[in-house]
Structure 1
Amino acid sequence: MTYPLIVVPFVIVTAAVTLATLRRPRFRERMASSGLLALVLVGLTLVFDNLMIAVDLFSYPDEHLSGLRLGLAPIEDFAYPLCAAFLVPALFTLLSPRPSPKDAA
């Protein structure tokens, strides 16, 4: 089960960075947008991973996987698009300067 263990740090970092933006403005809107983006990315991953595995562009050794699959694609492959959908906007939010109170007025 190597691949599931590789995914864990990405998920932990994504959760931590996303939660760090909790008090920033528009958190709910950002989470809704990230959720929609995650659905799109997971859909694309589902289609294209299955196609690439079906035509033998790559394969995964079974002993390194959790055993859960969506079609031919191992479930571990879906962690990366999910992390990207939430981590990138969260990092952008954290790295953007906060508006000063006088700018808000």
Structure 2
Amino acid sequence: MVFRSIEIYYDIDTIPEVAASVATSGLPRWHEADRALEFRADAIELIEDALVGAHAGEWEGAGISRREVSFGFAVDDFDAAEAIVRNAVTGTRFEHFREIVRNEFDMVAVA
């Protein structure tokens, strides 16, 4: 059995709600971290709705570091999932992600 996921990464400094208020790169203050987390939650909701609606994926997890926010979805088809993501975010404040990373694990080999 093969497990596939995509992870979507945003640089903190490119998040509109954070970039407008940060003089230096990264997350120096808690209120800016809150803005980054709110942005991430909103992005997850938008993208998850699109993936679930197309029966193409479901939310898997999320992370934050000083310089980036990320979140991932379990998917069956990389190309279809990426197309759905790109379509969902086009024209929104979420369209400027840094990258989408594909992960694939052979669950039999892992066990």
Answer whether TM exceeds 0.5 for this pair. no
Higher normalized strand content (fraction of residues): 2
So what's the TM-score if we normalise by structure 1? 0.35
Asked which structure has the greater CA Rg, the reply is 1
Higher normalized helix content (fraction of residues): 1
